[in-house]
Amino acid sequence: MFSLFKANHLILNTAHGCFDYKEDGEIRLNDQSYTLKSVDKIWAQFFVKLKFECGHSVMLWRDSCREREYRHFLANLQRSYEENENAR
């Protein structure tokens, strides 16, 4: 199960558990669908910050999932970014 905690002034929401990512930017958390708006990958060796269209933001920590899944997720994000850039 995913838990999305309310953010306070010092701590961002942290994602716990499994998530499902689709290449079109849809992410499923707690049996709810969210549309990915942006991803902050500046600290990708530790975590990525996911921001959704609805306004929610969560941090996905690298060590909170399997290494292979984390790398696959980052690769899909990069591929989607490159496809969007080429389409412009």
| Inside any domain, residue 31 | yes
Distance of CA 49 to the CA centre of its chain: 6
Mean pLDDT across the stretch 36-50?
A: 90
pLDDT in tens, 7-16: 433 455 766 6
| Inside any domain, residue 5 | no
| Inside any domain, residue 1 | no
| Inside any domain, residue 59 | yes
Query: Which tokens belong to 66?
Result: 């399997």
**Per-residue CA distances from 41 to 1, 14, 18 (Å):** 24, 15, 19
Question: How many C-alpha atoms does 64 have within 13 Å on its Cβ side?
Answer: 18
Q: What's the domain range around 51? A: 20-87
pTM for the full predicted model = 0.72
Residues in the chain: 88
**How far, in Å, CA of 24 to CA of 21, rounded?**
8
How many structural domains is the chain composed of?
1
Mean pLDDT across the stretch 25-53?
A: 87
Q: 17: left (phi > 0), else alpha (psi -120 to 50), else beta?
A: left
